Amino acid sequence: MTQSELSADAARNRDVWTAENAAYTAKQAREAWAQEEIRWGVFQKPEAEVGALPDVAGMDAVELGCGTAYFSAWLAKRGARPVGVDVTPAQLETARECQQEFGLDFPLHLGNAETTPFGDASFDGAISEYGAALWADPYAWIPEAARLLKPGGWLMFLTNSALLTIVLPDKEDLPATTTFQRPYFGMHRQQWEGDTSVEFHIPHGAWIDLLHENGFDVERLVELQPAEASTTRYTNIATLDWARQWPSEEAWIARKRG
Ligand SMILES: C[S@@+](CC[C@H](N)C(=O)[O-])C[C@H]1O[C@@H](n2cnc3c(N)ncnc32)[C@H](O)[C@@H]1O
């Protein structure tokens, strides 16, 4: 992958995730890889309570923005054949170390989730857990996911909720407020003060139109509500009290028409 193949935003995010890897994700990856149960989001809600995953046994699945690839590892343990794609070499290096440490092997590809080298209709599933879902442009990566999926293919992505995005303060790393901080209509490319990364968030209506235009039917929008006694290490996003009242995270589940 050469610099010229990367958009300016993808290159910025790669630099940010190189630093995040050194700061914390390499350590957190081991905890996530070791976990047997699938847990959703920053409050770690168990899949047994969320019920968002289909039977993935035998599924060829691509993870777009796989990071340290723990979600792919969870799918592999359930019989799927994942392929991880990520733009940050350090994140994939940690994923490779975890593969060795945990004795699980699947392909990891260095590249931009918005333009992958895989053939048309080569996967049964496409997922993103806070990967492309938040860090890549939906108007690029959703068409790419549609291209990669077979008819009937399953798309699932988890990201911050649209509601959260409009109530976070401008300055990075401050938790959700209870007042609107920016317009909902027109939101797309988002940067926080004091942070060089670039996020992407669009309104619900725009997600539904984009998915529909790319051949998907939306099956579910899972708005995650943490249980009463939940804890999170990400108190910079939303407090438990906030997230108990309003959705801070949302998982979209769609099916490619076929
Ligand atoms: C929050 S982490 C992903 C979390 C992931 N579930 C894990 O197992 O670590 C976000 C990841 O998205 C990746 N990313 C950001 N922009 C990307 C892009 N355009 N293409 C592919 N990966 C991207 C980053 O390199 C980073 O590893």
Q: Give pLDDT tens digits along the chain (258 positions).
A: 655 578 999 999 999 999 999 999 999 999 999 999 999 999 999 999 999 999 999 999 999 999 999 999 999 999 999 999 999 999 999 999 999 999 999 999 999 999 999 999 999 999 999 999 999 999 999 999 999 999 999 999 999 999 999 999 999 999 999 999 999 999 999 999 999 999 999 999 999 999 999 999 999 999 999 999 999 989 889 999 999 999 999 999 999 999
> Residue 3's pLDDT is what?
52
Question: Which residue has a Cα nearest atom 15 of ligand 1?
Answer: 135
Q: Would the CB of 82 count as within 6 Å of ligand 1? A: no
Question: Which residue has a Cα nearest atom 13 of ligand 1?
Answer: 65
> Residue 2's pLDDT is what?
59
> Residue 4's pLDDT is what?
53
> Residue 5's pLDDT is what?
72
Q: Would the CB of 41 count as within 6 Å of ligand 1? A: no
For ligand 1, mutation pick of 28, 66, 94, 196 (most atoms within 8 Å of CB): 66
Ligand 1 center–CA 14 separation, angstroms: 8
Ligand 1 center–CA 197 separation, angstroms: 12
Tell me the one-letter amino acid at 35. Answer: Q
> Residue 224's pLDDT is what?
98
Q: Would the CB of 91 count as within 6 Å of ligand 1? A: yes
Ligand 1 center–CA 245 separation, angstroms: 28
pTM of the entire predicted model: 0.97
Ligand 1 center–CA 209 separation, angstroms: 24
> Residue 186's pLDDT is what?
97
> Residue 235's pLDDT is what?
87
Question: Which residue has a Cα nearest atom 16 of ligand 1?
Answer: 135
Ligand 1 center–CA 49 separation, angstroms: 26
Ligand 1 center–CA 194 separation, angstroms: 20
Q: Would the CB of 114 count as within 6 Å of ligand 1? A: yes
Question: Which residue has a Cα nearest atom 25 of ligand 1?
Answer: 88
